[in-house]
């Protein structure tokens, strides 16, 4: 199975900061990469699909980039509601999808 890694595993940031999370796949996955936000006690929420396409209703301060094995999720102008855990997920080998370990963004 394709392994996904994320860095950092956790970070502390302030409201208004620009935050960057990276995700790496163990092999080429083209753009078959999605990003999710999960808040405590809630189901994940799809933010970005196909590496860079913003899901409808998601604020434009979220953006994604990358292709192949290396991907980035950027949150510009961090807002209080953005403190959460973020997961990348590959769908290159359906049905065997895999998630990254998650990156927790908390308040500095």
Partner 1 sequence: QAQLVQSGAEVKKPGSSVKVSCRASRNILSTYAIYWVRQAPGQGLEWVGRIIPFVGQVHYAQKLQGRVTTTADTSTSTVYMELSSLRSEDTAVYYCARVITTSGNVAAFDLWGQGTMVTVSS
Residues that bind partner 1 (CB under 8 A): 31-34, 36, 43-46, 49-50, 53, 55, 87, 89, 91, 94-102
C-beta neighbour count of 25 within 10 angstroms: 23
Give the nearer residue to partner 1 in terms of CB position, either 78 or 88. Answer: 88
Q: How far is the CB of 89 from partner 1 (least distance, A)?
A: 8
Closest residue by Cα to residue 32 from 90, 80, 101: 90
The pairing of beta strand 10-13 with beta strand 103-107:
parallel
Q: How far is the CB of 80 from partner 1 (least distance, A)?
A: 23
Give the nearer residue to partner 1 in terms of CB position, either 45 or 61. Answer: 45
**What is the per-residue burial (b if ≥16 Cβ within 10 Å, else e) of 29-39?**
bebbbbbbbee
Give the nearer residue to partner 1 in terms of CB position, either 32 or 82. Answer: 32
Q: How far is the CB of 59 from partner 1 (least distance, A)?
A: 17
Instruction: Output the DSSP codes for 1-29.
Output: ---EEEE-SEEEE-TT--EEEEEEESS--
Give the nearer residue to partner 1 in terms of CB position, either 17 or 46. Answer: 46
Q: How far is the CB of 11 from partner 1 (least distance, A)?
A: 17
């Amino acid at each position: 199975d394709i392994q996904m890694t994320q860095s950092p595993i956790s970070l502390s940031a302030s409201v208004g900061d620009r935050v960057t999370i990276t995700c790496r796949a163990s092999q080429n996955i083209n753009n078959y990469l999605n990003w999710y936000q999960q808040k405590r006690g809630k189901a994940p929420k799809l933010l970005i699909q196909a590496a860079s396409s913003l899901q409808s209703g998601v604020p434009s301060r979220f953006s994604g980039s990358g292709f192949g094995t290396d991907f980035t999720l950027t949150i510009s102008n961090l807002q209080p509601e953005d403190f959460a855990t973020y997961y990348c997920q590959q769908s290159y080998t359906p049905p065997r999808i895999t998630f990254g370990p998650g990156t927790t963004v908390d308040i500095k």
